[in-house]
Amino acid sequence: MSDQDDLKIYTDFMHELANAAAVVSLKYFKKHIDVESKGSKLGTSFDPVTIADQNTEKAIRELIRARFPDHNISGEEQAAEQKGSTFTWVIDPIDGTRAYITGIPTWATLVSLHDGNKPIVGLLDQPYLKERYVGTAKGTFFNGTKISTRPCDDIFKATISTTDPLQLFNGPVEQDAFFRVASRAKMMRNGYDSYAYAMIAAGFIDIVIESGLEPHDIQALIPIIEGAGGIVTNWQGEPCDKGGQVLACGDKRLHEEVVKLLNITTDEL
């Protein structure tokens, strides 16, 4: 079997996972459900989790165990399952739980398959809006139609986004770096969690800058953006599949400019 055949098996399976996850996540969305906190996160003392997060991940894991029993599984809400495989399924059952519990449909189910070197398939599914993005090195597809990022080679022409510029950066140094870029952008639209990355892939947003991400927050989004022609790295321009500081751009020329802005030292200001 060729690598391309393998890739099709995995992308087809992503649709099965998305369908199963949607049954669970939509059951609780826009309902009054209990919300617990897992503790502090960056600039807040609140990191929410609900039964929807937990049960959605459970449904995804069950399908993966049945179809690929030898593969590792890593998810946000349950312990990692290490099988000694080079392949790991990485799950964020509801990315954007804050949006979810406030009834805003910018949350998404994220799933990626990491081959030991990098994530090779990424899924972002927003079932309430009926929007599904699947990306690989062969391209990125929105509801079955191939999409691409838009050209933008100048920060002054760009639209920029982050989830929360006040609470979700690691202190004033990172906040200042973000606003140094954002102050030059044509437009800033914040608060969209992983949905903003999908908008990069679809050609509507140019830059997303975030910090404090976990692997499950970003891995699915890397093949989605890269498959559409964009680039996702850390703030230094290096791989970010382990999380941390993340910079995503639709245009690689713009990415070079933003990396420089993020890394200006005090002496250069």
Query: Could you say which of 147, 167, 191 is where a domain stops?
Result: 147
29: pLDDT strictly greater than 70: yes
Tell whether 10 and 141 lie within a shared domain: yes
In the listed set 103, 121, 147, which residue is the last one of a domain according to the structure? Answer: 147
Question: Which whole number is the average pLDDT over 239-265?
Answer: 96
**Per-residue model confidence (pLDDT) at position 43:** 61
Name the residue with higher pLDDT: 68 or 45: 68
Q: Looking at the structure, do residues 78 and 180 belong to the same domain, yes or no?
A: no
Give tens-digit pLDDT for 30-47. 999 998 887 666 666 667
What's 90's domain CATH number?
3.30.540.10
Regarding whether 236 and 134 lie in a shared domain, the answer is: no
pLDDT at 4: 67
What is the CB neighbour count within 10 angstroms for residue 163? 26
Distances (CA, A) of 1 to 10, 123, 139, 216: 13, 23, 20, 29
Among 115, 131, 147, residue at a domain's last position:
147
Note whether 25 and 44 are same-domain residues: yes
State the Cα–Cα distance between residues 140 and 53, nearest whole angstrom: 26
The whole-number average pLDDT for the span 119-136 is 98
Residues 100 and 13 in one domain: yes
Whether residues 121 and 167 share a domain: the answer is: no
138-189 pLDDT, tens digit per residue, is 999 999 999 999 999 999 999 999 999 888 898 899 999 999 999 999 999 9
What pLDDT score was predicted for residue 32?
92
Name the domain count of the chain. Answer: 2
Q: What is the CATH number of the domain that holds 210?
A: 3.40.190.80
Tracing tokens 């609900």 back to the chain, one arrives at: 50
| Mean pLDDT confidence for 255-268 | 86
Give pLDDT, residue 108. Answer: 98
Contacts of 162 (CB under 8 A, 6+ apart): 168, 169, 178, 182, 190, 196, 208, 209, 210
Rg (CA), the chain: 18
Q: DSSP for 218-269, please give it.
A: HTTHHHHHHHTT-EEE-TTSS--TT-EEEEEESSHHHHHHHHHHHT--GGG-
- How far is the C-alpha of 104 from the C-alpha of 193, rounded, in Å? 11
Rounded CA separation 134/141 (Å) = 5
Please report the pLDDT score of residue 1 as a whole number: 40
**Are the C-beta atoms of residues 91 and 80 closer than 8 Å to each other?**
no
- How many Cα atoms occupy the beta-carbon half-sphere of 269 within 13 Å? 9
Phi, psi of 154 (to 5 degrees): -145, 125
Same domain for 159 and 111, yes or no, is: no
**Could you tell me if 11 and 108 lie in one domain?**
yes
Q: For residues 209 and 246, what is the distance between their CA atoms, to the nearest angstrom?
A: 6
Domain housing 25: 3-147
- Same domain (yes/no): 139, 160: no
Do 142 and 159 belong to one domain? Answer: no
pLDDT (tens digit, 9 = 90+) per residue, 81-108? 999 999 999 999 999 999 999 999 999 9
| Residues 134, 15 share a domain | yes
Predicted confidence at residue 160, as pLDDT, reads 98
Per-position DSSP letters for 104-164, written without gaps between them = -TT-EEEEEEE-SSSEEEEEEEETTTTEEEEEETTEEEETTEEE-------GGG-EEE-S-
Examine the domain organization and report whether 138 and 161 are in the same domain: no
